[in-house]
Amino acid sequence: MSGSEEATDLDCPICLSRFNDPIILSCGHTMDRLCIQKLINYNRTLNRAGPSRCPVCNWEFNPEKPLISNKSLSKFIESKPIYEWFLIDILCEKEGINAMKFLKLVFNKRHIIETNHITFETNDTQIEYNSNINFDEQLHMKPFLNLNQALEKISTYSQQINGIKKICILSDGFTKHTNMTKIDSNMFNQLFLIHVGDKYIERTRQLANETNFQFGHFNEKKLEIYVQHFLTNFTERL
């Protein structure tokens, strides 16, 4: 993880999404109220009497007692809004379609409302793909002419806001991103550069190494498998 934000656990260990209403169990572990309530209700449907167990450490707790809110964490989360930028820099039509499939799977598996700001960078070849995919209504579409222009605007904007900031770039390796070397990695919590397809992989990998971006790769066959890997890392503890 890169970035200068204070380290904390902002994601529920059960659903791996950002806390909405965190509660703290007697063992000290925190999870989202809805998630632990679902676990309690599930145990009741199985007629399991007696204490429930923490899904993290297996510590017993009384499910009949009121769940205690983690007020300090709730307050901290409110002070740390999330800003995410998903940037698409792909010329190959096939890989452009795979990139959009990837993003749709990612957004379908996450609560998009937990994110304050999402921006897409596209070129003309991607705009037609975007119009055919129904993302959640909260999704904010804002195309740029190219990746360099998008990164320049994001860098300027990031200096004016406080919160958790992440960038994820999807690339097929056809273009060389000169502006990526100008990104101040200390301004961001996570930087991902994901190569789509099987050509020019080493070019993208080298660029990731030069710019402190975390490298990833998937092709059409490994798309769904990589989505889960990405979600686990993109929502890592900050």
pLDDT of the residue at 145: 58
Under 8 Å between Cβ of 39 and 13 = no
pLDDT of the residue at 58: 92
The mean of the pLDDT values for the chain is: 76
Dist CA 43 CA 21 (whole Å):
21
Which of 136, 138, 99 has its CA nearest to residue 117? 138
Domain over 81-234 is classified CATH 3.40.50.410: yes
Which part of the chain has CATH 3.30.40.10?
Answer: 1-80
Domain over 1-80 is classified CATH 3.20.20.70: no
Above 80 in pLDDT, residue 190?
yes
Above 60 in pLDDT, residue 66?
yes
- Full-model pTM: 0.63
pLDDT of the residue at 110: 63
Which part of the chain has CATH 3.40.50.410?
Answer: 81-234
Of 28-37, 66-75, 154-163, 214-223, least confident by mean pLDDT is 154-163
- Mean local confidence (pLDDT), 59-64: 90
Each residue's pLDDT tens digit, 174-184: 876 767 877 88
Under 8 Å between Cβ of 107 and 235 = no
pLDDT of the residue at 237: 42
Each residue's pLDDT tens digit, 22-50: 999 999 999 999 899 988 888 888 877 77
Q: What is the sign of the dihedral through the CA atoms of 107, 12, 161 and 229?
A: negative
Above 70 in pLDDT, residue 8?
no
Each residue's pLDDT tens digit, 88-146: 788 787 888 888 788 878 877 765 444 444 454 444 333 333 333 444 333 344 455 57
**pLDDT band at 197, cuts 50/70/90?**
very high
Dist CA 97 CA 154 (whole Å):
24
pLDDT of the residue at 235: 62
